[in-house]
């Protein structure tokens, strides 16, 4: 299935049915009077977050969603039936934006959340409503209220506890495949990952979700490479896992490139708790490993973990460090005591 995280859709609620002008005419009934019924209400347009979806690809092939119009009123005081409403089913984590792509209408973060996007029009009154002591035979009825037409954007932001960051080929997909049942594409060339991947990770009897996004390069905030189009998927994460390729001769500069791109995209995201890891240490000799670890620690000013996704060296320590940050961000419970590395 293809991955799509942004879609433009056009919606319109149904208009209300018109009221009816009608008079009761029966044999031997001298004073029939008005008996026009009301029009039915138009259908509304809703959006609902459902389980089992992780892409907006369905909205690439169908972009127009129109609810049904209410039925017109009829004689004998018969009210028209209401128009059928429609519901757009989206993945959990979908944001609903106005046409300007900036104004947030709703953020659906839980299964079953429903939001009304366009309310159906009310039905018009039939002439029975206008009967009075001075007007015994009204000749008027109201038209139905028109529906609402609008253009909206659907933007998916995956819900994960931790987000993976790094330059292309930093070993993010290898790490995700090593610690979860996710099966991302792994190869020895840059930009192997083209779409975000999710994996459920377990450590010390606890589970959390990690999101892997395509690698960033210098100038990503200006659209280079895959740009920063996927950074939105780590905005909901409580901690970021920053992998630095230990086989690179410029580990400090590599870390700085990602940090600068994060700051250019969102200063708030740049300040998010981050676990920095020198990856692929199994490919380094002890002297080179110590040298690059020291250079990276001097650049970050924080503890840097050493890890290899291939040999599993240091993986448990990294996962525990991630859980410590995740548990600290969650509402405290008896079982969620943060582990301190």
Residues flagged as binding site for GTP: 166-173, 191-195, 212-215, 279-282, 308-310
Q: How far apart are alpha carbons 307 and 283 in whole angstroms?
A: 11
Helix (H, G, I), strand (E, B) or coil at 11: strand
Distance CA 31, CA 122 (A): 31
User: Any idea what the Cα angle at residue 178 is, between residues 177 and 181, rounded to 5°?
Assistant: 50
CA-to-CA distance for 52 and 121, rounded, in angstroms?
Answer: 32
Residues flagged as binding site for Mg(2+): 173, 193
| DSSP string computed for 46-99 | EEEEETT----THHHH--EEEPPPPPPPBTTTBPPPPPPPEEEEEETTEEEE-T
CA separation for the pair 67, 12 (Å, rounded): 6
The torsion of the CA quartet 282, 193, 107, 96, rounded to 10 degrees, works out to: 170
192 near 169, Cβ under 8 Å? yes
Beta bridge mates, 151: 10
The SS3 assignment for 201 reads strand
For residue 338, what are the CA distances in angstroms to 153, 163, 240, 274?
38, 18, 16, 15
CA distances to 64, 91, 166 from 173, in Å: 37, 23, 11
How many angstroms separate the CA atoms of 14 and 119, rounded?
8
Q: Which residues are annotated as a binding site?
A: 166-173, 191-195, 212-215, 279-282, 308-310
């Amino acid at each position: 299935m293809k991955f799509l995280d942004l879609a433009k859709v056009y919606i319109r609620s149904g208009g209300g049915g018109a009221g009816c002008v009608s008079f009761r005419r029966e044999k031997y009934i001298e004073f029939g009077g008005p008996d026009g019924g009301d029009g039915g209400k138009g259908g509304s347009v809703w959006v609902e977050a459902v389980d089992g979806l992780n892409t907006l690809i369905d909205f690439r092939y169908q972009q127009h969603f129109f609810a049904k119009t209410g039925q017109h009123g009829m004689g004998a005081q018969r009210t028209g039936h209401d128009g059928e409403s429609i519901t757009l089913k989206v993945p959990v984590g979908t944001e609903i934006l106005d046409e300007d792509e900036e104004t947030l209408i709703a953020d659906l973060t839980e299964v079953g959340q429903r939001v009304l996007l366009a309310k159906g029009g009310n039905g018009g009154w039939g002439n029975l409503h206008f009967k009075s002591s001075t007007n015994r035979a009204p000749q008027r009825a109201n038209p139905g209220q028109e529906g609402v037409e609008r253009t909206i954007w659907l933007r998916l932001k995956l819900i994960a506890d931790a987000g993976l960051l790094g330059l292309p080929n930093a070993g993010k997909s290898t790490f995700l495949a090593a610690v979860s049942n996710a099966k991302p594409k792994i190869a020895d060339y840059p930009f192997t990952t083209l779409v975000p991947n999710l994996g459920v990770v377990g450590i010390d009897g606890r589970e959390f979700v990690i999101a892997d996004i395509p690698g960033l390069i210098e100038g990503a905030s200006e659209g280079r490479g895959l740009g920063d189009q996927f950074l939105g998927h780590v905005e909901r994460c409580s901690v970021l896992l920053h992998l630095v390729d230990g086989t690179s001769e410029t580990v400090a500069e590599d870390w700085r490139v990602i940090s600068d791109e994060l700051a250019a995209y969102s200063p708030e995201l740049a300040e998010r708790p981050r676990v920095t890891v020198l990856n692929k240490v199994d490919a380094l000799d002890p002297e080179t490993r110590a040298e690059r670890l020291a250079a990276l620690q001097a650049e970050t000013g924080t503890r840097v973990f050493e890890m290899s996704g291939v040999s599993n060296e240091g993986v448990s320590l990294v996962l525990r460090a991630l859980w410590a940050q995740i548990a600290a961000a969650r509402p405290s419970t008896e079982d969620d005591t943060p582990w301190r590395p």
